[in-house]
Amino acid sequence: MDGRVGDAPAPHPRSRLVHRPARRARGDPRRHRGHESNHPEACSLDAIALSGVPAAKALRELQQGWAEILPRSPLKGHAENELEVRTLLRATHVRLNIYPDGGVARLRVWGEPRPDWARIGATGGRGPLDLVAVRHGGVPLAASDEFFSEPVNLIMPDRPADMGDGWETRRRRGPGHDWVVLRLGRRGVIERIEIDTTHFKGNYPESCSLEGCDAPGLPGATFPGDDARWRDLLPRTKLKGHTRHRFEVAGAARVPVTHVRLNIFPDGGVARLRLWGRVVEGM
C-alpha cells in the first residue's frame, strides 16, 4: 500500500485512555466531516493481511500481527485530513485508532489493489476470470474525459445502481471520440467482452471498439508509451442503450495483453466493462 489515508478513527483497548477500536476492510468508506468540537485529537492506522473472511468477534480479539502503517498523527475538526502512507505491505484489513475518543465521518484508504492470486486461482480456476475487475487488480490509467463520472466505475463489482454508477463523458462538439486506458490485474488472454450500457438510454455511445497491448515490463500505473503496439480485440461495433452486450474475441486476437483501451464513439455513458479470459505468466 502506497497512498493516502483520508481521516481516521478507532483504537484498541490497552490503557485507561479510552481508545476504541474499529476494524474495517480496505476501501470501506469513512471520511472526516461535520465534527468540529468533538473530533479526535489524533489517529493512527494499523494493517494486516488475513486469509478468508474473519468474523467480527475474531477481529476484535486479534492483537498479534498488526503493523503500524500510519504513526499517531494530529487531526483537525470538520476537515478532510489527508495523511501520507508509505509501505509495501499487502493488507486486507485496517485498524483505525483515535485518541482519546470522538467522532469521525469517513475513512478513505487509497492504494493499489494487490489480489491474492493463489486464492483466486484456487477458487476461480474452473473458468475464465474478469481480468480487468478492480477486485483482481484492474485500474484505469487515463481517460479522455470524466466529466459526469469516473472510469473506475466500469470495473467495480455488482450491477450498476444508476447512471452515476458508470463512466459518462460530456457531449462532444467537434471531431474525435472518447477513450479510457486500463491496466489488467494480470497479463492474460481475453476471450469474451461485456460492454454494459444499463441505465444509459438516451446518452449511450453509438458504437465502441476495444484494443489491447502487451507491455509486461511497465511498472504500476505507468501509461503505455507512443511506441506501444495496440491491436484490435473488438472492431468498432454498434451499441444499444440499457443493454448488456456480449462479444466473443476472434481467435486471431486472442493474444496476451496487459493493457486495454476502450474507445466510445463519439461520447456517452457505459456502466460496466467485463473482460473474461485466462491469466498467462509475465506480469
Domain definitions of the chain by residue range? 2-109, 122-279
User: Cβ–Cβ contacts within 10 Å for residue 32, how many?
Assistant: 26
Residue 10, pLDDT score: 36
What proportion of the chain, given as a percentage, has pLDDT over 90? Answer: 73
Architecture category of domain 2-109 in CATH? Sandwich (2.60)
CA distance 177 to 113: 29
Evaluate whether 141 touches 225 at the Cβ level (below 8 Å). Answer: no
* pTM for the predicted model, two decimal places: 0.75
Q: How confident is the model at residue 14 (pLDDT cuts 50, 70, 90)?
A: very low
DSSP string of 163-225?
A: GGGSEE-PPPSSS--EEEEEEEEEEEEEEEEEEE-TT-SSSS-SEEEEEEE--TT--TTPPP-
pLDDT of residue 124: 56
CATH of 122-279, one of 3.30.420.280, 2.60.40.10, 3.30.300.30, 2.60.120.260: 2.60.120.260
- Please state, for a pLDDT cut of 70, what percent of the chain lies above it: 85
Banded model confidence at residue 5, pLDDT cuts 50, 70, 90: low
SS3 (DSSP) at 123: helix
Nearest C-alpha neighbor of 46 from the set 113, 88, 114, 96: 96
Rounded to an integer, what distance in angstroms lies between the CA atom of residue 206 and that of residue 32? 41
Residue 165: pLDDT above 70? yes
Q: Do domains 2-109 and 122-279 have the same CATH topology?
A: yes
What's the whole-number average pLDDT of the chain?
A: 87
Nearest to 244 by CA among 277, 275, 273, 281: 273
Q: What is the pLDDT of residues 206-264, one digit of tens each?
A: 999 999 999 998 988 899 988 999 999 999 999 999 999 999 999 999 999 999 999 99
